[in-house]
Amino acid sequence: MDKFEIQKLLKPGQKVNPVIRILAIPVAVLFLIAGAYSLHALIFEARTVSFVFASIINLLVVGFVLWPFSYVAIKGKSPKYWQQNG
């Protein structure tokens, strides 16, 4: 049985369809807005531990999702490495 490799599934460095690239631009902008809102809420409105925890989780999720969309929107291809040690 072959070892499962995520790199084969995600097809690193491959050009993406121009329609997907165009659609990635507004999605990346929306995630930037959501991240800015979460950061603002974390800095200025965080009064309880649960709210701080929720804001930090929200920022991490937004950052994790924003990175591939912004990379596709700017470069026009999927990231060459999906992880740092690749």
Give 47's pLDDT tier (boundaries 50, 70, 90): confident
Q: Which residues of 14-50 are buried (b: 16+ CB within 10 A; e: fewer)?
A: eeeeeeebeebeebbeebeebbeebeebbeeeeeeee
Q: Residue 32: inside a domain, yes or no?
A: yes
Express each pLDDT in 7-40 by its tens digit: 565 666 677 778 878 888 888 888 888 888 888 8
Q: Residue 46: inside a domain, yes or no?
A: yes
- pLDDT tops 60 at residue 6: no
Q: Between the CA atoms of 74, 75, 80 and 86, what dihedral angle is there, to the nearest 10 degrees?
A: -40
pLDDT of residue 86: 43
Structural domains of the chain, count: 1
What's the DSSP call for residue 32?
H
- pLDDT tops 70 at residue 2: no
Tokens of 32: 């930037």
Residues spanned by the domain of 53: 17-75
- pLDDT tops 80 at residue 76: no
